[in-house]
């Protein structure tokens, strides 16, 4: 009888957050440096290039990585499933086959555009990003979070050094080369750790237990997840850039992109937290067992998101002036609008990852199709009548509609409890603490950060006393944090 490894949701959540937080600090540092050293046009061009490559990945991976990740996780939990080595090899080959047509598209698309970056730099960045995406998915599916922590700490540090040295002389090319270098270093570190993990797991398998891989099942899941991901990206990512580029200059895009960059300061690290739910729910045996875990997770995740979102919404102008100077002050207006939808939108990532983990691909496809349709209709209407503020409103309205659909389906179809009461209490508490102090301690980034820490400490204390958060969960998290940090010694 095979022994199945237990999945500790709190434990892997902490590890996942630690594994990626360094990378998003790195992205913030890069944005801070380049916004001052590059012209507004070049800064907007870099944002556009990264957005285009992310969309190329979504279109040409077409859901295969997500489906593969679920199968990979299930195989680790049930060790009598298909051979790990074969699955890994197939994924690597697929990544190469997927990259080739994407590179061709980017090559011709960028050659016909007004970009100043040489096309071969773009191809190198795209290829390295594609391979890294596959490697990361398999790494997280294998619960190899310690190795991910090392990769996300080492590679960005090297990248920042490269950027500081070469940015003055190579300008925008230094940014593209730096991102490519970081991707390559991360692939090497993650790849070495993943190979070791695969070897250990395969040593525990008997050849007689291995079964053929059901590629038809993977293909069907890939189709659903792929279409769903493409539709979702139209709303959740910067898809409007491709429309706005035909109406506005790169300078205007730079101003608009600042709101997304600031939003990512809280959104990207927070969105990482519920990503563990995908692998968790892919590994559990019954939805009944996961219902209680989901409810408790959503309650405390929303509690955290609410504070971060309201704090940023109350200090948008100050953040833009301190980090990006008054040259980009108009982006504060866009950010306020986006946060109205993105605060509940970030919370809904816990719901979305649960649906993916449980394999609810049909609902995801329907939800994303309806939401994307609403957004595109509003986008083309508002861009003609209300400029970029209207575009921000289009995204906010579409996100709120998507969140509402997800909650209704989760509550009525999956029969999962949605903890509305503690979430509402969290909103009221965070608002009373932050809004009443929004004009205090705002003279510098250090003062603002100190204020955030103080208010969050008070937020935790009051939440604990009012039992908005679970006492036993806090004690368990404290224990797990101590254990995980001790492992790195």
pLDDT at res. 307: 95
pLDDT of residue 102: 63
Residue 202's pLDDT is what?
Answer: 58
Residue 186: CB atoms within 10 Å: 26
Evaluate if residue 143 carries a pLDDT over 80: no
352 φ/ψ angles, rounded to the nearest 5 degrees: -65, -45
**Which range (77-91, 108-122, 260-274, 290-304) has the least confidence?**
77-91
Q: Average model confidence (pLDDT) for the chain? A: 77
**Region of residue 212 (phi > 0: left; psi between -120 and 50: alpha; otherwise: beta):** beta
Provide DSSP, 197-237.
HHHHHHHT--GGG-----HHHHHHHHHHHHHHHHHHHHHHS
Comparing 92-96, 209-213, 353-357, 475-479, which segment has the lowest mean pLDDT?
A: 209-213
Q: What's the pLDDT tens digit per position in 414-434?
A: 888 898 999 999 999 999 999
What band does 118 get if pLDDT is binned at 50, 70 and 90? confident
Give the integer Cα–Cα distance in Å for 297 and 280.
12
Q: CA dist 119 to 103, 125, 173, 308, Å?
A: 10, 10, 11, 39
Helix (H, G, I), strand (E, B) or coil at 88: helix
Query: Residues 165, 111: contact at Cβ < 8 Å?
Result: no
pLDDT tens column, 216-230: 665 566 566 667 767
Close Cβ partners of 207 (under 8 Å, ≥ 6 residues apart): none
Instruction: With beta carbons less than 8 A apart as the criterion, state whether 286 and 352 touch.
Output: no
Q: Kindly tell me if the per-residue pLDDT of 42 is higher than 70.
A: yes
Mean pLDDT of the 90-114 span: 60
Mean pLDDT over 385-398 rounds to 86
Q: From the centroid of its chain, how far is CA 19?
A: 13
Give the pLDDT band of residue 451 (cuts 50, 70, 90): very high
Residues whose CB falls within 8 Å of the CB of residue 475, separated by 6 or more in sequence, listed in order: none
Q: Which tokens belong to 236?
A: 């959740």
User: How do residues 470-484 score in pLDDT, each as one tens digit?
Assistant: 766 666 655 555 554
> Is residue 338 over pLDDT 90?
yes
In terms of Cβ atoms closer than 10 Å to its own Cβ (0-12, 13-18, 19+), residue 206 is exposed
Q: 221 near 72, Cβ under 8 Å?
A: no
More confident residue, 21 or 151: 151
């Amino acid at each position: 009888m095979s022994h199945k490894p237990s999945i500790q949701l709190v434990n892997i959540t902490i590890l996942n957050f630690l594994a990626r937080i360094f990378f998003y600090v790195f992205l913030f540092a890069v944005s801070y440096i380049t916004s001052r050293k590059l012209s507004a046009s070049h800064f907007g061009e870099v944002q556009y290039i990264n957005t285009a490559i992310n969309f190329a990945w979504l279109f040409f991976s077409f859901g295969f990585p997500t489906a593969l990740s679920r199968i990979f996780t299930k195989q680790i939990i049930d060790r009598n499933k298909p051979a790990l080595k074969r699955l890994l090899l197939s994924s690597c080959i697929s990544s190469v086959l997927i990259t080739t047509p994407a590179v061709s598209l980017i090559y011709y698309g960028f050659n016909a555009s007004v970009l100043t970056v040489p096309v071969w730099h773009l191809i190198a960045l795209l290829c390295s990003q594609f391979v890294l995406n596959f490697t990361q998915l398999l790494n997280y599916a294998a619960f190899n979070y310690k190795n991910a922590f090392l990769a996300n700490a080492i590679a960005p540090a090297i990248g920042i050094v490269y950027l500081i040295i070469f940015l003055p002389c190579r300008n925008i090319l230094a940014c593209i080369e730096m991102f490519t270098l970081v991707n390559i270093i991360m692939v090497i570190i993650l790849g070495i750790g993943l190979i070791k993990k695969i070897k250990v797991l395969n040593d525990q398998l008997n050849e007689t237990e291995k079964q053929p891989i059901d590629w038809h099942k993977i293909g069907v899941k890939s189709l659903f997840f792929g279409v769903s991901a493409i539709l979702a990206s139209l709303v959740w990512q910067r898809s409007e850039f491709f429309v706005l580029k035909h109406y506005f200059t790169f300078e205007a895009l730079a101003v608009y992109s600042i709101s997304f960059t600031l939003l990512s300061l809280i959104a990207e690290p927070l969105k990482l937290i519920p990503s563990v739910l995908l692998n968790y729910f892919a590994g559990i045996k019954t939805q009944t067992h996961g219902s209680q875990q989901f409810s408790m997770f959503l309650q405390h995740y929303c509690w955290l998101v609410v504070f971060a979102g309201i704090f940023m919404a109350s200090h948008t102008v100050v953040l833009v002036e301190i980090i990006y100077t008054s040259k980009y002050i108009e982006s504060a207006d866009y950010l306020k609008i986006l946060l109205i939808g993105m605060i509940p939108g970030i919370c809904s990532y816990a719901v979305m990852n649960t649906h993916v983990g449980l394999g609810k691909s049909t609902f995801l496809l329907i939800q994303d199709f309806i939401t994307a349709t609403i957004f595109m209709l509003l986008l083309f209407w508002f861009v003609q009548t209300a400029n970029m503020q209207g575009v921000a409103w289009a995204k906010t309205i579409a996100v709120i509609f998507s969140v509402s659909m997800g909650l209704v389906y989760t509550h009525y179809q999956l029969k999962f409890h949605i903890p509305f009461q503690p979430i509402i209490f969290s909103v009221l508490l965070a608002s009373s603490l932050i809004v009443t102090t929004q004009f205090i301690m705002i003279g510098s980034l250090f003062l603002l950060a100190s204020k955030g820490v103080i208010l969050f400490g008070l937020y935790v204390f009051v939440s604990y006393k009012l039992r908005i958060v679970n006492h036993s969960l806090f004690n368990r998290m404290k224990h797990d944090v101590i254990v995980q940090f001790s492992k790195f010694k």
